[in-house]
Amino acid sequence: MTDIWRDDAPGERRAAVVENGNIVEIHIQRDALWALGECGAGRIDRKTPSGAYVVADDGSELLLRSKTKEPDGARVPFAVTREAISEPGRIKPPEILLRDSAHDQPLTGKDALWDARLASLGQSAINASVAEGFDVAIAGQSHVGDVTISFQRTKAGLVFDIDGVGDAFAINMVAATEIARLLRLYQVGAMVMIDFVSMESKAQRTQIAEAFDAASLADARPFERTAINGYGMMQVVRARPRPSVLDHLFGTRIAALSDETQAYWLLRAVAQSSGFGARTVTTRPEVATLLQSERWATWRAAAVRLAGADMVVVADEKATGYGHVHVAQS
């Protein structure tokens, strides 16, 4: 049995594909970012040998990878072909194609794009929490019996390392299936490097690679991979039109929640809180600044409306975790 869980909050939409009670895919869309398929307008900021950088009306920078005859400063309509991707230490800007005119197709907003994305998953959506699917992502480790699969984002891609005690073939067989599950769960694209426990037998290496292929059949996204070499290394490549769940959670950091993620989660906590008193959000200064910024005003207002109470943001350098929400007694 397959269900779609929908878990929307101010500024951040989540959904999960659930099969037989287990979350098998997580999808996230954040309203601060340009969404795949979204249309907008901006001006040519500077040209490159193969395209141009465009500054959108909201001030964000986007990358055009095809040449254009439009001069610097020209106003152009565009459609997003790849969302912004956060990697350790940097953010890749969204990629776009220019449209012929601002009226050659209806402008599609984030609400409609999200609804279409959920519809493509094939089931009606019900409201339910998706948060339980983040535990392994935040830990950076998955344990299956005595096998430990650790993973970490790098600029080059996502790297998996496998540890266990006993027969290398048995360990790798478990890991191959689990890694295929994790790649689908977190919608990971681009380069993935898997460091299996080394095996001398080429036949066994082939069996492990084929086990990965079989486990990946449940993931509708096509991929290419190399064979497992004598050192145990295999590379997997998929298209990456959107950030993975890991990209969303960690942003430009390697294994710590980004300021944006912490701010979204605090707004979610405000929106879902109960009681009649004002909500006091206590968090680190960087996150507090983000929450109080003009850019986040719409989502603050949405959280206040859903909570039915005012919200106060307090910056505290000693705040632990990503902060907390306190409901005043009225």
Predicted confidence (pLDDT) per residue in 280-294, tens digit: 999 999 999 999 999
Q: Using CA atoms, how far apart are residues 318 and 316, in angstroms rounded to an integer?
A: 5
pTM of the model: 0.94
* SS3 at position 149: strand
Where in the chain are the domains?
2-33+111-129, 39-108, 134-238, 257-327
| Percent of the chain predicted with pLDDT > 90 | 92
Output the CA torsion sign for 188, 7, 217, 241.
negative
CB 23 within 8 A of CB 36: no
Of the candidates 189, 245, 181, 173, the one whose C-alpha atom is nearest the C-alpha of residue 222 is: 189
Second CATH level (architecture) for the domain 39-108: Beta Barrel (2.40)
User: How crowded is the C-beta side of 298, counted as CA atoms within 13 Å?
Assistant: 6
Predicted confidence (pLDDT) per residue in 236-249, tens digit: 999 999 999 999 99
- Residue 104 pLDDT level (bands cut at 50, 70, 90): low
Q: Using CA atoms, how far apart are residues 70 and 2, in angstroms rounded to an integer?
A: 48
Question: CATH number of the domain at 257-327, out of 3.30.420.10, 3.30.450.80, 3.40.50.150, 3.40.1260.20?
Answer: 3.40.1260.20
pLDDT at 106: 60
pLDDT above 70 for 86: yes
